[in-house]
């Protein structure tokens, strides 16, 4: 297969796709032009709803029937594609163009061994049966899975997200396609795994001489891998160009905003005056798993001490499994610790119970990751916010008045009071959750991955809201996150956790600028966009 010619791998010309009537806009995408030269990586950047995934689907011939191609042309290797959803596409998908998705585990059939699923790809494209297994094993080795034999026999649920993504990539490249479409393939992954996968894609791109259409919202990723960048907003291209040009010299406001969101350095000055309001001393927690003979002890938190200064924000960062969520449960007294103390305003509340515990809980509120599950769909906004007050004995009229006030404080219109949660977007719901927590006038707010489920620009808005409210209301905050960008944006102090232990802690500005520990350094370096030193 010759790929040395200058024929573009992918050409998209004037692509306009209509939305069904009744949608919030008329067109999913308008006048899209893209060209990807052989061996190049094009990053398509935008938030969800910007239309970038629709473009990818159109290239794959997998547009949903309700989406109609109004005009334009898509060509692979200079040859026009057949109409959408045509059976002829089955010959193109795999050998010509392949696609990987955000959630690798769920893009595999849960009840088939992954090896068989990969072999099937070869079989349906006419590869003789006896060659399939060998080809698959080769590919599993190529994506650098530590134990290809074992991976072959595994079921999807037995793998980590990173492993599954390697499998899916292996599947995509099995038939040596000229174009790989990757739709947010690293968004659900830890920073370190994300870095590994990005590296892998870079390596394979060269090894297999494949072009890549990479869809992302993260300019850090763009900085790491892109040759070309196309920025989309509301179904239109707002900016396009070579990666260095766009990164160094963004023209459009929207591009600038997205770039700012991928910034990675502390922005709060170190404060010398320090009055601790919330402290933990030598906390340890061990879970017991299993029954009878296969009982095992799993240490979740090991000798963790921390101190939250009044009016400040402490970020707890770490990869999944580092023990940060267990720590938050201990701090909230939702989980009894094995040893150590939790102090609130200097008082030991580690063993408190009953009314004293209730009083403590009123002063410490929590905002969780999932704004969809956190709200009862049968409660109106106003009732959801006022509920806590009423439980704590505030008369209903007063509770509603305070709830309404808080609603406006978190940036929602008073009209929102009488609507139900399902009528709001994710960001709006998280605002409701924040209002619900703050209406009780807590002294400490614990935010557990509170912005992780949100789009990057919404994330920025919500983080700004947190900072603004903190300034006005004066509460202290523990912000638990796996995202270094978030920690950098919000915290005064940062605490890095690994395997249940504290690796490093200190003022955010200092830790991010001069990490003392190897692990912290590795973590910071694996964040997208760090290697090329764009963010100086």
Partner 1 sequence: MIGFIFSKVARAVITLLVTVTLVFIFIRFSGDPAAALAPPDAPQEVIDQYRRALGLDQPFWVQYTGYLNRLAHGDFGYSIHSGRPSLQIFLDRLPATLRLGGIALVISLVAGLGLGAVAALNRGRPVDRAVMGFSVFAFAMPNFLFGLVVILTGSLMFQVYLGGQGASGSIFGVVAPALTLGLASMGSYARFTRSSLLETINKPFMLAAEARGIPYKRRLLRHALPNAAIPLVTLVGLSLGSLIAGSVVTEQVFAWPGVGQLLVRSVATRDIATVQFLVLAIAATMVIANLIVDLLYLVIDPRIRAR
For binding to partner 1 (CB under 8 A), which residues are involved?
60, 62, 87, 89-95, 98-99, 101, 103, 106-112, 120-121, 124-125, 155, 157-158, 168, 171-172, 175, 291-292
What is the nearest approach in angstroms of partner 1 to the Cβ of residue 174?
Answer: 9
- What does DSSP assign to residue 290? S
> CB-wise, 88 or 336, nearer to partner 1?
88
Q: What is the 3-state secondary structure (H, E, C) of 84-137?
A: CCCCCHHHHECCCEEEECCCCHHHCCCCCCHHHHHHHHHHHCCCCHHHHHHHHH
> CB-wise, 124 or 513, nearer to partner 1?
124
What is the nearest approach in angstroms of partner 1 to the Cβ of residue 292?
Answer: 6
CB-count exposure of residue 368 (10 Å: 0-12, 13-18, 19+): middle
> CB-wise, 188 or 488, nearer to partner 1?
188
Contacts of 316 (CB under 8 A, 6+ apart): 306, 324, 327, 328, 478, 479, 480, 481, 494, 495, 497
What is the nearest approach in angstroms of partner 1 to the Cβ of residue 454?
Answer: 21
What is the nearest approach in angstroms of partner 1 to the Cβ of residue 24?
Answer: 22
Which is nearest to 367 in space by CA: 492, 501, 481? 481
Q: How far is CA 246 from CA 161, 230, 259, 452, 464, in A?
A: 31, 9, 10, 26, 25
What is the nearest approach in angstroms of partner 1 to the Cβ of residue 38?
Answer: 21
> CB-wise, 171 or 427, nearer to partner 1?
171
> CB-wise, 62 or 359, nearer to partner 1?
62
Which is nearest to 267 in space by CA: 519, 464, 409? 464
Which is nearest to 288 in space by CA: 275, 297, 277, 299? 297
What is the nearest approach in angstroms of partner 1 to the Cβ of residue 63?
Answer: 12
What is the nearest approach in angstroms of partner 1 to the Cβ of residue 98?
Answer: 7
Dist. CA 416–CA 380, nearest whole Å: 9
> CB-wise, 71 or 106, nearer to partner 1?
106
> CB-wise, 125 or 352, nearer to partner 1?
125
CB 485 within 8 A of CB 264: yes
Q: Phi and psi dihedrals of 83, rounded to 5?
A: -60, 155
């Amino acid at each position: 297969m010759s790929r040395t010619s200058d024929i573009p791998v992918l050409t998209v010309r004037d692509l306009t796709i209509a939305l069904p009537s009744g949608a919030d806009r008329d067109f999913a995408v308008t006048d899209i032009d893209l060209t990807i030269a052989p061996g190049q990586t094009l990053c398509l950047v935008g938030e969800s709803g910007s239309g970038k995934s629709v473009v990818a689907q159109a290239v794959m011939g997998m547009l949903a029937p309700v989406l109609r191609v109004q005009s334009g042309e898509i060509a692979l290797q200079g040859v026009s594609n057949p109409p959408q959803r045509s059976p002829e596409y089955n010959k193109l998908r795999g050998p010509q163009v392949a696609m990987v998705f955000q959630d690798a585990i769920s893009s595999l059939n849960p009840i088939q061994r992954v090896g068989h699923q990969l072999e099937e790809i070869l079989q349906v494209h006419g590869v003789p049966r006896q060659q399939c297994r060998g080809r698959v094993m080769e590919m599993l080795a190529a994506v650098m899975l530590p134990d290809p034999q074992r991976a072959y026999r595994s079921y999807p649920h037995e793998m980590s997200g990173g492993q599954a993504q390697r499998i899916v990539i292996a599947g995509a490249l099995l038939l040596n396609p000229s174009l790989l479409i990757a739709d947010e393939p690293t968004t659900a992954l830890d920073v370190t795994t994300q870095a590994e996968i990005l590296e892998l894609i870079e390596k394979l791109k060269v090894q297999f001489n494949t072009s890549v259409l990479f869809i992302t919202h993260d300019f850090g990723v763009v900085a790491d891998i892109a040759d070309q960048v196309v920025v989309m907003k509301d179904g239109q291209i707002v900016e396009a160009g070579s990666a260095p040009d766009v990164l160094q010299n963004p023209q459009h406001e929207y591009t600038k905003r997205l770039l700012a969101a991928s910034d990675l350095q502390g922005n709060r000055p170190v404060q010398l005056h320090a009055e601790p309001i919330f402290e933990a001393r030598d906390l340890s927690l061990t879970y017991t798993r299993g029954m009878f003979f296969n009982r095992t002890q799993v240490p979740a938190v090991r000798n963790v001490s921390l101190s939250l200064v009044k009016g400040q924000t402490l970020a707890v960062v770490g990869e999944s499994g580092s023990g940060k969520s267990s720590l938050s449960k201990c701090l909230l007294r939702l989980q009894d610790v094995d040893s150590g103390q939790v102090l609130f305003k200097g008082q030991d509340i580690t063993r408190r119970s009953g009314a004293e515990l209730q009083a403590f809980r009123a002063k410490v509120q929590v905002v969780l990751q999932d704004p969809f599950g956190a709200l009862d769909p049968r409660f109106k906004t106003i009732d959801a916010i006022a509920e806590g007050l009423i439980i704590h004995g505030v008369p209903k009229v007063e509770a509603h008045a305070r709830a309404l006030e808080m609603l406006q404080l978190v940036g929602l219109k008073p009209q929102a009071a009488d609507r139900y949660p399902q009528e709001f977007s994710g960001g709006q719901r998280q605002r409701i959750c924040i209002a619900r927590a703050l209406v009780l006038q807590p002294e400490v707010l614990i935010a557990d991955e509170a912005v992780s489920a949100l789009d990057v620009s919404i994330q920025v808005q919500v983080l700004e809201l947190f900072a603004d409210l903190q300034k006005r209301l004066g509460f202290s905050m523990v912000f638990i996150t796996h995202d270094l960008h978030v920690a950098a944006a919000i915290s005064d102090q940062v605490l890095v956790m690994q395997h249940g232990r504290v690796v490093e802690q200190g003022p955010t500005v200092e830790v991010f600028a001069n990490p003392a520990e190897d692990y912290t350094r590795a973590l910071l370096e694996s964040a997208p966009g760090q290697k090329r030193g764009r963010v100086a």
